[in-house]
Structure 1
Amino acid sequence: MKQINYIILIMAISILTGCNEGTNNLNVEVYETSAKGNKLTKLTSFTKVDSVVNIKLNPEKTFQTISGFGGAFTESSAYLLNRLSKKNRDTILKAYFAKEGARYSLTRTHMNSCDFSLTNYSYTPVEGDKNLEHFTIKEDIDDLIPMIKDAMAVSEDGFKIFASPWSAAPWMKDNNSWVGGKLLPEYYDTWALFFSKYLDAYKNEGIDIWGFTVENEPHGNGNNWESMHFNPKEMTDFVQFHLGPKLEADGYGDKIILGYDQNRAGLKEWVDEMYRDEASSKYFHGTAIHWYESTYDYFPEALQYAHNKAPDKYLIETEGCIDSQIPVWKDDAWYWKKEATDWGWDWAPEEQKHLHPKYAPVNRYARDIIGCLNNWVDGWVDWNMVLDRQGGPNWFENWCIAPVIVDPNEDEVYFTPLYHTMAHFSKYIRPEAKIIEVENSDKKLMATAAKNPDGSIAVVLFNEFNTPKTINLSLYDKMVEITIDAQAIQTIVIPNKV
């Protein structure tokens, strides 16, 4: 009898051990940011609820390869960092770029000034200088370049940088103005040379530029701040006959050229022209897009069309932010509420007003990034990394919100929930990861997943509703049960050895 009891005891211990470490249990780490106050908090215990979602991962079915996630180096952000104490400056740069931080891997900067500059300026200050003998990046020396170089020093993995012009100097344009107008045909070669000179100048500063967008917002911005207009044919001709050949001739043929660089609703006419034939497609490495067409719609059909038109090219979200909004200071709850408005709330044509309702900033970021990843977008880049409590500085007073807000007069820093939202993606989905198939039983719960180069899998969930959900997550023959809170984002990391 004692022997039988001993055998039963051993069997019971084996069963209990199997629940914790058995072959059918999926080993995961779970990180959550929520309206209740979690901020990339690691969770180790879960309470089961009635609402159950089944999520199955299929790593064998893969989609696009990730190029990265990140934000933009602007003169405004760099200027603010220089006004902070060294401690706070270092804290912000580490939060964005260090291994223990968000690990930004894809970034943007501007060529010449933009709205998030302190003034209008150009690298080509001498009128009529067609050969750009007086080209200079002196305007970037004090603020922008030190920010980039300090970020490079902090980042262990490194990151890519692409640059975007808002406008050529007025003397190259048909309206002789910073705002609006078109590049004069006699300056097409000069403008192509401008890109090559920029690469040389930044290389001399120890900064390698990965690539370019041809023009920020070629449709313009309502004639408010720096802009220069192209239609699809004009931009494609400029790239095919001027910019592409010039970079190639100067030894920069490996630099990435992204066309378009504006809202998604206009994608079809642009990709049809950019990839009109083999000769034009040769110089375009991909398409750049923004999100300002709507506060909630990520335009999946347009994204699918752009991918199918050029399936081997990049499709990168190059700018998105909480625009036309003064930052709310040290009030996390506001970022989860549908109180923000964008430019379209006041200014969109009446037939487009429905695309611009009030929204919750966290929801807008999480919904858009997951929606993009599930529709072939391979990179997602936020706008300014740092702004002040007014939403600037900005020479046009075009106030916006950044993930990190600072008060330079008081030397204070506020990491908004948008910072943690970005980190849910940038920290755990690494460059060269592959988006994988996710079977999701709940259409209201947004989900995406990627397999990283090291073999780990990152799953990002977004529950924007007011009730928590229990998740049954399965991979092959293994499963784990966890719970995501109401109004929460989760990243679930599955290590290589599952």
Structure 2
Amino acid sequence: MKLFKTYPLFILVITVMACTKEKEQSKTLQVDVYETSASGNKLTAVQTISEADTLEKITLFPEKELQTITGFGGAFTESSAYLLNRLSKKNRDTIIQAYFSKEGANYSLTRTHMNSCDFSLSQYSYAPVEDDMELEHFTIQEDKEDLIPMIKDAMAASEDGFKIFASPWTASPWMKDNNEWVGGKLLPKYYDTWALFFSKYVDAYKAEGIDIWGFTVENEPHGNGNNWESMHYTPDEMTNFVQNHLGPKLETDGHGDKIILGYDQNRAGLKEWVDSMYATEETSKYFDGTAIHWYESTYEVFPEELQYAHNKAPNKLLIETEGCIDSEVPAWKDDMWYWSKKSTDWGYDWREEEKKYLHPKYAPVNRYARDIIGCLNNWVDGWVDWNMVLDTQGGPNWFKNWCAAPVIVDPEKDEVYFTPLYYTMAHFSKYIRPGAKVIALESTADKKFMVTAAKNPDGSIAVVVFNEEPQARDFSLTLKEETVNLHIEGQALQTIMIPSRK
């Protein structure tokens, strides 16, 4: 009798345990994980399920949508385009595909320069003839040998297409108060001529089969220490130029759909610029957003300034339009250099003493990963790298302002080196697509373990996690009622893809 009474209970317990186990299994979050690490992974698909007892906890809230992503990418410069033309067709195609194909980084937002910049082979202008007020001699001939072919090749490789915006470093010297390439201001009598310059640029590139998405008004309006091409504006001067000249001219000429981004320099100066740009409905009319750079600091994201800019104009774009490893000759085929705190920047040597603390030695991968995640977590909707390709010297650059790029080439030997920075950029550009919504999340981890997430238009969710420290971490990722426990090595970046639930 005792056995008879116990037996059904035993069956019941087993059945409940089996159902509970099945229920637990059904609540496991299904993910694909891609990792780049100091240990050698390069956007590698990995299986990193953790069985640790102590876990950091990341919880996603996809119903809480934040900014809409415009895109990620890099810049077409004459230097990069010139180098591509010196490589074999095989290596040129490899680089273009790596940046723009779906199998590669799938860049979606790009920049180029109007007239020359420091990463040009020489100084030139599309308006070379003095006092040509109507720009009858306007020409983009300088771009036709290198720059335009690179852009066209990228367009051919990109299945999804990409946006391209253009930035001037300076007007022609004859339009400026100092008659120089470097420094000085645009003379008021040439404001309308300079606005016409933008309109003619759109038409000229359209004739080449390239649609320009928009502009920044001026690269680094504070100047660059009077080193290479530059032209200065105060906030109110730029606002006046856009409100009364550039915006109306583009509109009159049928280019009113072109995006205009104001400012275009370091984040520390954001407040005074957005206060001017967005002071009234009239001043705001032609500004579609604000452009920013990262050179104020090698580690500080400036969240207060980014939050301020967003709150000042919550419906406007906020795009990081330039960042790079500057003042460095890039390491050649030495991945660990990019993971090690050996790099310095302009501020390490030249910044005033009271602000040198903003420029310690740093690891290039850390700088990219931390900044992109920090930006996405503070309302930035696009992030654009600087040169796509440079040589082993960090050029060519007429001013010898050496920098690093995600792809380094040796044109003499026809060799290509994809640095860890390329894979770092791809963790975002490949998996977070235009139109994605950054979503809210909660994390129990400290500041050395950074995370951001976005929901793509197809319903998939991309979660990017960066572990800056050398120690490995274990963490749980929860979406609604589903959880997965994951492991990440020290000095590693992961993109975790959650398939669409549609």
> TM-score of the superposition, structure 1-length normalised?
0.97
Partner of 2:285: 282
Correspondence for 1:170 among 169, 173, 179 = 173
Match runs of 1:326-475 below 5 Å: 326-444=329-447, 445-475=449-479
What letter corresponds to residue 384 of structure 1 in structure 2? Answer: N
Shift of 1:49: 4.2
SS of the aligned residue for 2:26 comes to: coil
Tell me: CA distance 1:413–1:16, structure 2 relative to 1, closer, same or farther (3 Å): farther
Shift of 1:18: 5.6
Match runs of 1:27-66 below 5 Å: 27-49=30-52, 52-66=55-69
2:85 matches 1:82: yes
Partner of 1:139: 142
Correspondence for 2:114 among 103, 106, 111 = 111
Distance 1:52 1:17 in 2: 23
Deviates more, 1:69-78 or 1:461-470: 461-470
Are the counterparts in 2 of residues 473 and 479 from structure 1 also a CA contact under 8 Å? yes
SS of the aligned residue for 2:265 comes to: strand
SS of the aligned residue for 1:207 comes to: coil
Are the counterparts in 2 of residues 196 and 247 from structure 1 also a CA contact under 8 Å? yes
Instruction: Provide Cα deviations, 1:84-135, integer angstroms capped at 9, x if missing partner.
Output: 0111111101110000100100000000000000000000011110100000
Q: Which runs of 5+ in 2 are unaligned?
A: none
Partner of 2:499: 495
Are the counterparts in 2 of residues 449 and 460 from structure 1 also a CA contact under 8 Å? yes
2:202 matches 1:209: no
Tell me: CA distance 1:455–1:430, structure 2 relative to 1, closer, same or farther (3 Å): same
Distance 1:233 1:183 in 2: 14
Partner of 1:67: 70
Match runs of 1:471-490 below 5 Å: 471-490=475-494
Distance 1:497 1:468 in 2: 31
Are the counterparts in 2 of residues 329 and 389 from structure 1 also a CA contact under 8 Å? yes
Aligned length: 495
Shift of 1:271: 0.3
Shift of 1:48: 3.6
Tell me: CA distance 1:62–1:388, structure 2 relative to 1, closer, same or farther (3 Å): same
Are the counterparts in 1 of residues 182 and 226 from structure 2 also a CA contact under 8 Å? yes
Instruction: Provide Cα deviations, 1:405-463, integer angstroms capped at 9, x if missing partner.
Output: 00000000000000000000000000010000010011231010000000000000011
2:202 matches 1:199: yes
Distance 2:11 2:85 in 1: 71
SS of the aligned residue for 1:372 comes to: helix
- The percentage of aligned residue pairs carrying the same residue is 73
Distance 2:394 2:297 in 1: 21
Instruction: Provide Cα deviations, 1:27-66, integer angstroms capped at 9, x if missing partner.
Output: 1000111111111111124344465210000011111000
Are the counterparts in 1 of residues 48 and 488 from structure 2 also a CA contact under 8 Å? no
> TM-score of the superposition, structure 2-length normalised?
0.96
Shift of 1:6: 9.9
Distance 2:475 2:321 in 1: 32
Distance 1:10 1:477 in 2: 23
Shift of 1:25: 1.1
Partner of 2:320: 317
SS of the aligned residue for 2:295 comes to: coil
RMSD: 1.7
Distance 1:13 1:354 in 2: 59
Distance 1:98 1:51 in 2: 40
Distance 1:313 1:8 in 2: 59
Instruction: Provide Cα deviations, 1:239-262, integer angstroms capped at 9, x if missing partner.
Output: 000000000000011100000000
Partner of 1:235: 238
Moved over 4 A (4+): 3-19
Partner of 1:188: 191
Are the counterparts in 1 of residues 271 and 305 from structure 2 also a CA contact under 8 Å? yes
Q: Which runs of 5+ in 1 are unaligned?
A: none
